[in-house]
Amino acid sequence: LIEYFGGLEEYHSWRGDIVKQDKIPDRGERTPAHAEFFSNRLTFKYEPTCFIDKMADKFEEKGFIELSGQRIEDDSFRILKKVMKGESIRTNYSYIGRELGVNRKTVKRRIDDLLDKGIIEKPKCFFPNLFVPPGYNLIITLIEATSDLSDIKDYLKKDENVPMAIETSTERYNFLVFSAFESIEEFFEWGEKLNSKHPDNIGAISKTILSSRMVHLIEPQKVSLGFIENKLWDLKS
């Protein structure tokens, strides 16, 4: 279960509330959950569409790709690649302006400001599950880097199987890595390649493998929209 909170106090308040609401039993009636905490501010890679270039290589080789048993070929893949890179996707400033009763130029200026500050990114299409293409396995890995952290960090930034990576200081581990692969064998090959590229710099690795059948989808925007709605509610009250 991946949860997002503004701080530890907010997390503890949430945990207390779900017990009071009988959403989970009291500690005496259940096995306590094990929680790890990671700071979103230490995210050094967030690229949910990173898989598309590797898929493009497979498409050039085979003439098609498969996602969750569905064959995607010809123009369908070329269109998929375009929209996942955000090409030809435009923001309709006029529509937003009409909906909000705001001048079109004002809408554009405010959106440009949000882009410049890194609050939002330019629009593009994502897979329904943000970190995993349909039918792929999600692997969450903790990596211990014993030296040359910057080199390993750069390596992960370029990796086309890693949509998200975070620096951490959890037990002996330095990096939390989200990756996705069509098969478990591909993941083990990835691990061997990582070790061969950095033979003296990788220590322990802890991994959690989740098949596509085990991942329950949640709308990617759910947390962000919930945060915005709460802020709007606070302003109204």
Residue by residue, pLDDT tens for the chain (237 residues) are 788 888 889 888 988 888 888 877 776 677 777 788 899 899 999 999 999 999 999 999 999 999 988 999 999 999 999 999 999 899 999 999 999 999 999 999 999 999 999 888 999 998 888 788 999 999 999 999 999 899 999 999 999 999 999 999 999 999 999 999 999 999 999 999 999 999 899 999 999 998 877 777 666 677 778 778 877 787 776
Q: Number of C-alpha atoms within 13 angstroms, CB side, residue 157? A: 10
Extract the tokens encoding 233: 């509610």
**What predicted TM-score, i.e. pTM, was given to this entire model?**
0.84
How far, in Å, CA of 128 to CA of 135, rounded? 11
Domains of the chain (ranges, CATH numbers): 8-33 (no CATH), 36-51+60-72+128-230 (3.30.70.920)
Pick from 40, 28, 35: nearest CA to 1: 35
Extract the tokens encoding 147: 């030296």
Residue-wise pLDDT tens digits, 173-213: 999 999 999 999 999 999 999 999 998 999 999 999 988 77
Q: How far is CA 213 from the centre of its chain?
A: 18
